[in-house]
Amino acid sequence: MTRTEIVVVGGGPAGLAASLAASRSGAKVLLIERQAQLGGQLVKQTHRFFGSSAQSAGVRGITIARDLAGQAASMPEITVWTQTEALGYYAGGTLLAERPERVEIVQGARMVLCVGASERPLAFPNNDLPGVYGAGAVQTLMNVYGVLPGRRVVMVGAGNIGLIVSYQLLQAGVEVAAILEAAPQVGGYLVHAAKIARAGVPIMTSHSVVAAFGETELVGIRAARLGPDWRPVPGTGFDVDCDVLCLAVGLSPLVELARLVGCEVCYIPELGGYVPVHDDELETTVPGVYVAGDAAGVEEASSALIEGHLAGLAAAHGLYPQVDYEAHRGAALAELEALRAGPTGAKIRVGLSKMAQVKGGGRQ
């Protein structure tokens, strides 16, 4: 059995920030990561981040991942287990972790779940053909393994992920035939969209894929314009040759582990679907169990970093009370509020106000 004070599950931006914040408060941390390297989705993000220049705006995601992993490695209070999966959970804070050589029993006083999100599928005929990918898989192939997913791509989704992955495909020398977006407007940042438009990629809003073609692998797709009812308008279908169809149609928080732990889960579409009920210190309905990053509601990596920091501070505070806790917490909350301000944060603000209602209702 391995005993620690705080178990952090997931070594992406939220988990790294949580581990660093908790360890700097003096707590002993065990950070568990499924992949061989730390960083989560950051290791695929070759673009410069938005946000405040006081934080890490203008810095590429890959650089942020390397910096955070380096900081974690330099903290004696943090033990990192990579290639380790959280397998199970038993009452009393006992976690089962599968390492490459053996299964370990882990006992921690607090737990921070930073397990991220999964990509949503899209239903259309032949969506199981080889060549139909999620955007995360395309990014992993290109940016982690250096493998091109194909030669000619149709992207579905003009949110930030669809736009960024399209840009990365262009940078890798892959042709992007079109970006199809079901909504009447681009969902991601317009500067990303402008960057891709000026490379000659048509961004077709109010359009989606209706079918994929191919016997053994993808050879093309049919697209159509969508009406105000979001259904294909008859007579507007057209075919596009492609060997990759990349789906970037949204993410849903991964809640399996939270459910296993006994955390109450609620359904909030603006946060990505089912999400563990939590307060603004990121504590779930199970005392001592925290959630941060996309697992707490799908958002940007920049907010995941601050949420992780908050959750790490809060988890450690119970064990090692900090005199300046309120000041640190207030500063982090103010940063989050600034990131979520403005039109691009409208959806997340609605989601969080629903969460506050659920949480308030649960306490009555």
Partner 1 sequence: MTRLDRLVASGVPDDEAVAAVLPSAERLAKGPVAVIECFQEIPCDPCAAACPRGAILPFGDIKDLPSIDHELCNGCANCVVKCPGLAIFVIDVSSGGDRVIIKMPYEYLPLPRRDQEVWGLDRSGKRVAKVKVLRVQRPAAFDRTALLTIEVPASEVHNVRGIAPPAGGDDR
> What is the binding site for partner 1 (CB under 8 A)?
47-53, 57-60, 63, 158, 170-171, 184-186, 189-205, 302, 338-345
Q: Which is nearer to partner 1, 194 or 327 (CB)?
A: 194
Q: Which is nearer to partner 1, 197 or 265 (CB)?
A: 197
Residue 157: alpha-carbon gap to chain centroid = 16
For residue 79, the cross-strand partners are 30
Q: Which is nearer to partner 1, 142 or 263 (CB)?
A: 142
Minimum CB separation from partner 1 for residue 303, in Å?
9
Minimum CB separation from partner 1 for residue 264, in Å?
30
- Give the whole-angstrom CA distance, residue 15 versus residue 180: 33
Q: Which is nearer to partner 1, 129 or 144 (CB)?
A: 144
Q: Which is nearer to partner 1, 60 or 120 (CB)?
A: 60
CB neighbour list of residue 57: distance below 8 Å, 6 or more residues apart: 48, 49, 50, 51, 302
- Residue of 124, 129, 95 whose CA lies nearest to 109: 95
Minimum CB separation from partner 1 for residue 47, in Å?
7
- Residue of 203, 253, 209, 207 whose CA lies nearest to 227: 207
C-beta atoms surrounding 255 within 10 Å: 22
Residue carrying the six token digits 């930073």: 114
Minimum CB separation from partner 1 for residue 118, in Å?
26
- Give the whole-angstrom CA distance, residue 308 versus residue 67: 16
Strand ranges of the sheet holding 238-241, from the earlier edge strand across to the other edge: 207-213, 220-225, 238-241
Signed CA dihedral, 12, 14, 20, 23: sign only = negative
Minimum CB separation from partner 1 for residue 308, in Å?
18
Q: Which is nearer to partner 1, 87 or 194 (CB)?
A: 194
Minimum CB separation from partner 1 for residue 66, in Å?
13
